Every structure is written in C-alpha cells, then in structure tokens.
Structure 1
C-alpha cells in the first residue's frame, strides 16, 4: 500500500516540526521535515503539506509576514489550486493568512488579518493582550475540509500572541455565509470574530488553525480526518464556495495630531527587522526603521517649548521608555527636530528629516500605547502625559512612499492605519 506522504514545511524559527511529524506518523502517514529552501518542485511530490508552529524569522514585522514572502509559497499556491490539503498551525496559520492563500483580492492582498490577542471579562473590559498560553475546547463547525470531518470536541493547547482573526464587516458576512469558519472556541481566548479558531479558503482544502492539535493526543482527530480524506478523496465533498473579495482600495492616511510630540527610538546596533525587510523588498541599505512614541501632554497649550522639552527629558532619563545604552533618541516638538546628546539633553537636530519619504504605521487598537501610559502613570510621580501612542516609523527610498506602503510594511485592510507628517 502506498501511504500518503505529508511534508512538514519548516522555516527558520519554527519549533513544532517534530511533534507534527510524530502526530502524522501516528495516523499512518509517511512524513518528513521539508525545509523552506529546498527545490520548490520537490514539494509537489507530496500529497499534503502541514506548516508547523513556532516563531519563524523571529516574528519580525508581523508574525508570518516574512516567511510568506518566500518563493516556496508560489509552489503552495499551485498545490492549493489542485486541491492539495494544506494545514497551517499557529505560526503556519499566520503565514497562510499573510500569503493570501486563505482569502485575498485579485492583487493577492489578504482579506483577513491575525491581530494581537484581546482577552476580556464578562463586562467587556480588557484583562490581557499579547502572548497567551492555555487549553481550549474546539468544535468542528465545517465538516467539508480534510482536517475537520469529525463530530467530537477537542481540548488542545493554544500558544500565540497574534491569533485574533479579524475582517472588515463586509468580509465577516461573506465568511459566515460561505461557511469558511472551520473550528470555533467554546470559550474565546483572544477576541477572535465569531469565536473562530480556524478558517479555510473557499475551496476548503487550505486551513489556517491557531490552536495546536499536534501537541497532545486530544488533537488526533484532526490528523485522523486527513487520513480518512485520503481513503476516498475523489468522493469527498469539499466546501467549494466562491467568495467575492473587493480589490483593496488606495490606503487612506491620516495627519499626525499637531499637538503630539514625536519621539523616535532607533537601535545603536543593526536593526534585524529593518534588514530583513530590505531583503524581502530587494533593497540594500535603503530602509530606516524606528519605534515611534507619541505624547500629548496635559495642558500642552499653556506650556512653552522649553517646558515641554523638560518634561519629555524626565521621561527619557527615567529609563521607562528607552534604554539609552542601546538606543538613539530624536524628538519632534512644535515643528522642530531635536537630538538627545551625551549630556542628557535635547539639542536641535543638525540634519533634517525628509518627511516626504516617511510614514508611521499604528495599530487601530493601540494596546502598547495604552499599556505604557498606564505604567508611566504608576511609576512617575505627577506624570505629565495625557495620552501615549505607539507605532513604527519607516523611512523609504526617495519618491517611493506609495510603492512601499504595501502589505509588507503595513497590515492592509484591517488592523493598522498610516499616519504622515
């Protein structure tokens, strides 16, 4: 008997490949780790693909975005078009979402995003964000995929920081109507829409699943379902839906708040995320990335520029915002740029920023800014800050801002906004 052969497609930083191979072999499959940099056409000799969890490329930028740009995904697209079963688990699911293999427009811009977790209590108050590990019970709500054709609930681990399936209201209706939700949480751990734990492509052969069925035997029904699929694949009824995804419109940017003081923070050593995106975009030393903190001071309209500088300097010196041993700091206040010098003071910037070639990406739900504001209000007596925002500042090659405000540097369609000077 020729047993089905499943590739466990692994990228630098994935760390669940051994458990995934074991779970597949326990069901009778032939399975092996397939490294991302092997000849892509070799992947087509396999009957199915599972992309395991982990932290590929250190989750630089957004989880899964860098891996999804690798050439091997062109082969995955071809295989998906021929009904090959493909399962992405956790980080693998993030890659499938970012690649557009689950749901995208004609330009391959994803129609789904996986955003930071948002845990809430019964009153709707946020009690936690970011990475979360727990066990959750899942229910299969769509039997028309190779991975979900079973009735029993499964109790398996979750371990992720960006696992909240998010769509525009229009696409939410499409996903529900076309039955693209595959598994749902009995008790939602991350704020995912409709309690979604896994979503499939319209055909149903590609599934992005955030929980980990490979980590214990409770998840065996997922792999047993795949085994049963191969026993009668020709007669298996896939989801086979058609979903209309409108092409992503031009990005609408917002002007920065004129009252906002901008503090940009850059590593003194090489920024790995910056260099990684240069490689992804085919650039060489042409990007510049900084973390951006924005401050609205209390009673700002009554304060002079010198008073504002003094208050921000106190925050910088506190060490709560930046590590001055590792990071450079510049600030824009009242229309002027300032450098932080070796005398622990701000001085006017000697070189000017070209604000025509830069932009700032901010989350619509700015948990990091909220968290920092709450922290500073506790640790700094008489904290002068009314509001804090966080984002990523990108400086791009001259006259190419529109070209590079794209899916790589910007989580398009949902989740983020662009701000310009």
Structure 2
C-alpha cells in the first residue's frame, strides 16, 4: 500500500479529515510534523499538505511554511514525479513555495489574494476542466462536477495574463468553480471569491502537484480526487514517467514577473501613523526564524504597522480622535507615532508592503466616517513596514526570495534612502 505523508505545520488543523480521506481511498496515511527528520520524507510515495493556518498566517498565508526546510525535500520528491496535493492553506503553501504554477526558474509565479467578499465558509461547486488523467488528481471525466465546502479568506488566484494563457494552453487549470448545471459563471456565488477565470485548482506542468482551495476531504463526493491519487501511484511510470524528467508531458512555464521597487512618498494631506507593539511581536520573530532557516542568521528584524490617513485638514484634536477611535491601534498594547519617524532605524533597510486590493483600509475608513462621524477623514491605506538590519548583498537576496511580499498580490515601496 502506498504511503502518503500528511504534512502538518504549526497551525495546521485539517489533518484528521485529511487522514480519513486518504485512508478511505485505499492509501496509507501517516502524520508528518514539520519538526520531524526531513529525510524520512523520502520514504513516502506522496504528500498531502493540509489546510489550516500554518504559522498563524504570519507575514501572509503560506509565506513561512512555503519556505520551510520541509518544502525543500518535498520539491525534490516532486521532481521525481511523486504526487503532492495542497488543500486550502496547503494550496497557499504550494504557491508560495514556487511549486505552483511551475515557472521554469522555480521562483514565485502566482499569488492567492484576499477574497473580494471577505472570509467565506460556504458550499460551492467545482468541475473538472482538464482531460481525465491530466493530473494525478483528476482521473475522471472532463466536466464531472460536485459540491464541496470552502473555508478561506485568501483564495483569489492572481497570476499575470501571460501566465494564465500558458496555464490554459497546458491544461493546468484543472478545476473551476461552476453552478449546478456545470456552467462556469463569473458571478457570486458561483465564483465565490472573485478569482480570475473561476480558478479553484491549478496543477504544475507535469501534473503531479495540485493546489486546490476547496476542501474535497470534507465530503464523500471529493473522494474522486484521492482515488485518482491512488490510481496515479498504482499506474507508476505509465502516467507521467515518474522520475524521468526528460519524459515529462510539458515544459515548465517560462515567465517571471519583474518587480521594480519605488520609493514611498506620503501625500501632503495625510497623516503617517507608525504603530509599534509594546509587547512581543510574534510576527517579526517568526520572520527572524524563517530568515535563519533560509541561511540569513545575522539579520535583525522589526515591524511597524503603517497607516496613511488622508484628511481635509490636520489638527491636534483630529489626531487625538483617531487614536482614541481604536481603529488604528489598540492602546493597551500599541503606541502610535504620528508624522514622527523616530521608530525608523537609521541602519535598517525599510520596506512598506501593502495589498494591491486593500480591503482593510477602506473598512476602517467606513467605520471612522459612518460610526464615529469623522467625516474629515477621506482615505485610509494600511500596510506594514519591515525593517531589516543586514548587509547589502543579504538584503538583495531576501528581496529576491519574496518572503517580505508577493508581487502578484502586494506592492512594496522602499522608505527613502536618506532615512536608512
């Protein structure tokens, strides 16, 4: 019986139903925790990265786990043709690791952005849009569709148009959201999260790795995916020439997003809030550990929450009202520096990261305007300032790793050089 490693990171919480689904498909599941001996992973025939909130979604969903040492071994095993399935947070991890969509360089090639309808815990339908057996997880007729739940806040696929075109040409858009008549419609709730091209699940060019946002392990109808995984393993090299790279069905995608960082410039009619924690910053400490694991142990990390608040006219009273509102900070554990950059470290590289679709800033603006009647506030932009004290060559390598930001769903700006 083929052994499947159920991969758990700190915060993973879907392992029991995942274990059950794999077992019911006639495979032998075994829990594998992130802190076990990585070399043991080579003894497994396949891998299932389960859902949950790995590392509490610190930095962004999947960013830390996607660069965990465990994933380096899984990448090696995926290159041998072994099947790798990532569900929900597992899909986010596969994207952040670079396994999906599968750029030729192996670098980050996609993102999963915040849903345009917020966090969703609902039932949806998906259909198989690829020929049967195109991947290790869809060995059933094209157009087969079924209902299954989703439970995520960041599930909206974001890839450049040229990458999407290659995905479609390669048959990598395996699963799409559809209605009860199997019609793909770009409208809510058929497309529940506003994802491009109704994408629900994408495989790598070789077809042995699948990132799927809905949860097939939570419904009997979803067993076809796990049964396909078993059939793929039983067929061995007859499917995708397991372990023989020269016989893989398609070539890796040869596209990469070029990112140019601009310098941040605040609007003259806006406050700059730099919000600092006065308790332990777990997110900064997690990034510190992740950088250690990536081979950058001499980096000092700190973090500030950043708000750019556009107003009609600045005043001391308005500043006080914004602080007292509780929308921009929790004064029990945070302190705000308003138009005061004293917390920006002179010797650190500083980068402001925001989501391209910032749903949080406008939500705070609505509260300030409507519930608190602060009508003079005209805009709110929310982000994070990362400060890294390190050498120039290390800084460039960290930027290239994209651990600080995903350019497909986020934008980054450098704090001016004179402030470094």
TM-score, length-scaled by structure 2: 0.87
Contact 1:10–1:34, Cα closer than 8 Å, also in 2: yes
Q: CA 1:67/1:102 → structure 2, altered by over 3 Å: closer, same or farther?
A: same
Contact 2:350–2:414, Cα closer than 8 Å, also in 1: no
The CA distance in 2 between the partners of 1:214 and 1:289, in whole Å, is 37
The CA distance in 2 between the partners of 1:150 and 1:159, in whole Å, is 25
Q: CA 1:404/1:48 → structure 2, altered by over 3 Å: closer, same or farther?
A: closer
Query: For residues 117-159 of structure 1, what are the alpha-carbon distances to aligned partners after superposition, in whole Å with 9 as ceiling and x for unaligned?
Result: 11xxxxxxxxx22x21101111011231111111331211100
More deviation in 247-256 or 77-86?
247-256
Structure 2 equivalent of residue 279 of structure 1: 289
Contact 2:261–2:414, Cα closer than 8 Å, also in 1: no
Structure 1 equivalent of residue 307 of structure 2: 293
RMSD of aligned Cα (Å):
2.1
The CA distance in 1 between the partners of 2:91 and 2:145, in whole Å, is 20
Q: Note if 1:394 corresponds to 2:386.
A: yes
1:166 paired residue among 158, 165, 182: 158
Write out aligned runs for 1:8-87 (5 A). Answer: 8-87=6-85
Aligned residue pairs, count:
387
* 1:399 CA drift (Å): 5.4
* 1:205 CA drift (Å): 0.3
The CA distance in 2 between the partners of 1:257 and 1:297, in whole Å, is 12
Structure 1 equivalent of residue 328 of structure 2: 321
Structure 1 equivalent of residue 262 of structure 2: 253
Contact 2:291–2:299, Cα closer than 8 Å, also in 1: no
Write out aligned runs for 1:104-143 (5 A). Answer: 104-105=102-103, 108-118=106-116, 128-129=117-118, 131-142=119-130, 143=132
Q: Note if 1:183 corresponds to 2:175.
A: yes
* 1:16 CA drift (Å): 0.9
* 1:355 CA drift (Å): 8.6
Structure 2 equivalent of residue 124 of structure 1: none
Structure 1 residue ranges (4+ consecutive) displaced by more than 6 angstroms after TM superposition: none
The CA distance in 2 between the partners of 1:402 and 1:176, in whole Å, is 33
- Partner of 2:4, secondary structure, is strand
* 1:218 CA drift (Å): 1.8
Query: For residues 363-393 of structure 1, what are the alpha-carbon distances to aligned partners after superposition, in whole Å with 9 as ceiling and x for unaligned?
Result: 1111111111111111222421111100001
* 1:359 CA drift (Å): 1.8
Q: Note if 1:216 corresponds to 2:219.
A: yes
1:147 paired residue among 137, 149, 153: 137
Q: CA 1:96/1:275 → structure 2, altered by over 3 Å: closer, same or farther?
A: same
Contact 1:90–1:209, Cα closer than 8 Å, also in 2: yes
Structure 2, unmatched stretches of 5+, are 179-189, 242-247
Contact 2:46–2:84, Cα closer than 8 Å, also in 1: yes
Write out aligned runs for 1:195-234 (5 A). Answer: 195-234=198-237
Query: For residues 293-337 of structure 1, what are the alpha-carbon distances to aligned partners after superposition, in whole Å with 9 as ceiling and x for unaligned?
Result: 111112x4xxxxxx43431221112223211111111121xxxx2
- Partner of 1:246, secondary structure, is coil
- Partner of 1:148, secondary structure, is coil
Query: For residues 255-311 of structure 1, what are the alpha-carbon distances to aligned partners after superposition, in whole Å with 9 as ceiling and x for unaligned?
Result: 32332321011221111000000111124671110111111112x4xxxxxx43431
* 1:161 CA drift (Å): 0.8
Q: Note if 1:416 corresponds to 2:411.
A: yes
The CA distance in 2 between the partners of 1:323 and 1:414, in whole Å, is 27
* 1:202 CA drift (Å): 0.6
* 1:250 CA drift (Å): 4.5
Query: For residues 322-366 of structure 1, what are the alpha-carbon distances to aligned partners after superposition, in whole Å with 9 as ceiling and x for unaligned?
Result: 11111111121xxxx27xxxxxxxxxx5x7753973121011111
Query: For residues 218-247 of structure 1, what are the alpha-carbon distances to aligned partners after superposition, in whole Å with 9 as ceiling and x for unaligned?
Result: 211111111222332332258822243334
More deviation in 220-229 or 273-282?
220-229
Query: For residues 59-103 of structure 1, what are the alpha-carbon distances to aligned partners after superposition, in whole Å with 9 as ceiling and x for unaligned?
Result: 111111111121111111111111101100111111110000113
The CA distance in 2 between the partners of 1:249 and 1:313, in whole Å, is 42
